[in-house]
Amino acid sequence: MNPIRACLAACAFFLAAPALAALPAQVDGQPLPTLAPMLERTTLAVVNVSSKTRVQVRNPFFDDPFFRRFFDMPDVPQERVQQSLGSGVIVDAVRGLVLTNNHVVERADEVTVTLHDGRTLNAEIVGRDPDTDVAVLRVPAQRLTALALADSDRLRVGDFVVAIGNPFGLGQAVTSGIVSALGRSGLRGLGYQNFIQTDASINPGNSGGALVDLRGELVGINTAIFSPSGGNVGIGFAIPANLARNVMNQLLAFGEVKRGSLGVQAQDLDARLARVLGLEEGRGAVVTQVLPDSPADAAGLQVGDVIVRLDGKTIASAEELANAEGLLPIGKALAVEYLREGTRARAELTLIASSSQALAGEKLDPRLAGARFGELSQREKQSGISGVKVLSVAASSTAARNGLEAGDIIFGVNRYEVASLAELGKLVGQRPRQILFSLYRGRRAYYLPIE
């Protein structure tokens, strides 16, 4: 072919390309599939969440009295404002309730919510649950659109899902994918875990946004990504809607989340421990302590038993056992299967609230009257902290006069390590002449003598 004619033919092809690329509205009389109608409804309920945290900072020159006097500077610490951006989902238009992630609003002094129509509203933090990374906000209920919560237990691997949020603070965006896996756990830094895994792109700023099905119903709250680089690599995680609903209802009703407990301490069954216990090498949670008057105690569990199933689900480690305890509803009757001296056994028990196992200080020692002690949360344990938490201290009580404060974490008594309520009761319940607590208060460690 003549080169000039070939060039003209190529130009004509490229000039015509846009017309060829334009898709028709219908194919064979059928409309093309699109998510647009569903998204036009659902995106109205997804909001941007902005939080501000005031952090006091101190200029090192302020520590020099000459510098302060010379420049006439008052001895007042400076403030620095930290801002965080995320997403949220309106789930109750009448009450103005918004679901988001705890890490989006944690330690925030101010929270604002920007709606799809551009309105910015001040938000109240109704409650937070760090262990599941769920937080509930309340905004003025004015012309809001809410998403219906789906039954996330009906999700299947392969279901199509759409993630809606505010990635990188650029504005609302939509990505699509499928459910890659269900019941995911083992993410570092998070407490009770039962995540939906999806390959829909979830990037920073998507946290707290919506994961919806093709009906436009909320199946999850986007919460985390797995990425070496900080960007999306096709592995994202969302909190199931059923779990978020349960946490929200408890935060609204009690201001906190009450979790269940079997009343045991456990550790992983490894090869060495299996040999010592005379068991075949396998997986499970070895019971190391049974709290008195607990469901496990009533069911006859003993130290050395290996829990292998709970409520029909396999338990492969102590972490999986703690995770299952925290996610199962309080008051539920369930079966626990365990190995004792190589023989498989089964027991029935009813899960009780872990807070009901709190120890009253006066039952331990009169010098601790007015204080209540409880176990650490799963998130605190995963962070490497060990000890017993002071849940509350009554004003003007003996414990308060001795210097105990709510939130203190006691990790030692008279220089003996303490890792559980049972150990605290054993050491203090003997009524020693002197009590010396080793405790964490904030980020600092202290000795606290109790008189």
Q: What share of the chain is helix, strand, coil (3-state, %, to 5)?
A: 25, 35, 40
The domain defined by 260-354 folds into Pdz3 Domain (2.30.42)
Give 53's strand partners.
82
CATH 2.40.10.10 domain locations along the chain: 42-138, 152-247
For residue 365, how far is the Cα from the chain centroid? 35
Q: Please name the residue that has the structure tokens 């809410």.
A: 146
* Catalytic-labelled residue, pool 180, 207, 377, 438: 207
Rounded mean pLDDT, 412-429: 85
When computed from its CA atoms, the radius of gyration of the chain, rounded to whole angstroms, is: 28
What are the phi and psi torsion angles at 417 (to 5°)? Answer: -65, 145
Nearest Cα to Cα of residue 207 among 447, 47, 413, 321: 47
pLDDT in tens, 247-298: 999 899 888 787 778 888 888 888 888 887 777 767 888 998 887 778 888 8
- Global pTM value: 0.67
Helices assigned H by DSSP within 310-446: 318-327, 361-364, 378-382, 398-401, 421-428
Among this protein's residues, is 133 annotated catalytic?
A: yes
CA distance 47 to 96: 12
Higher-confidence residue of 61 and 408: namely: 408
**Amino acid at residue number 382:** Q
- CATH number given to 152-247: 2.40.10.10
pLDDT confidence of residue 124: 92
Lowest mean pLDDT among 108-112, 192-196, 379-383: 379-383
Q: Tell me the CATH class for 358-450.
A: mainly beta
CB 416 within 8 A of CB 436: no
Which of the 8 DSSP states describes residue 62?
Answer: G
Burial of 156 (0-12, 13-18, 19+ CB in 10 A): exposed
How many residues does this entry show for the chain? 451
CATH 2.30.42.10 domain locations along the chain: 260-354, 358-450
Highest mean pLDDT out of 189-193, 320-324, 444-448: 444-448
Evaluate whether the domain defined by 42-138 bears CATH number 2.40.10.10.
yes
For residue 374, the surrounding DSSP H or E stretch is: strand 371-375
* Catalytic-labelled residue, pool 92, 131, 133, 305: 133
Q: Give the chain's end-to-end CA distance (angstroms, integer).
A: 104
Among this protein's residues, is 103 annotated catalytic?
A: yes
**With bands split at pLDDT 50, 70 and 90, how would you rate the model's confidence at 337?**
very high
CB 177 within 8 A of CB 186: no
Q: Tell me whether strands 97-101 and 173-184 are parallel, antiparallel or unpaired.
A: unpaired
From residue 263, give the alpha-carbon distance in Å to each of 266, 353, 433, 439: 10, 10, 29, 23
* Catalytic-labelled residue, pool 50, 51, 84, 103: 103
For residue 317, the surrounding DSSP H or E stretch is: none
Higher-confidence residue of 228 and 367: namely: 367
**With bands split at pLDDT 50, 70 and 90, how would you rate the model's confidence at 67?**
low
pLDDT for 148 beyond 80: yes
pLDDT in tens, 30-44: 677 788 889 989 999
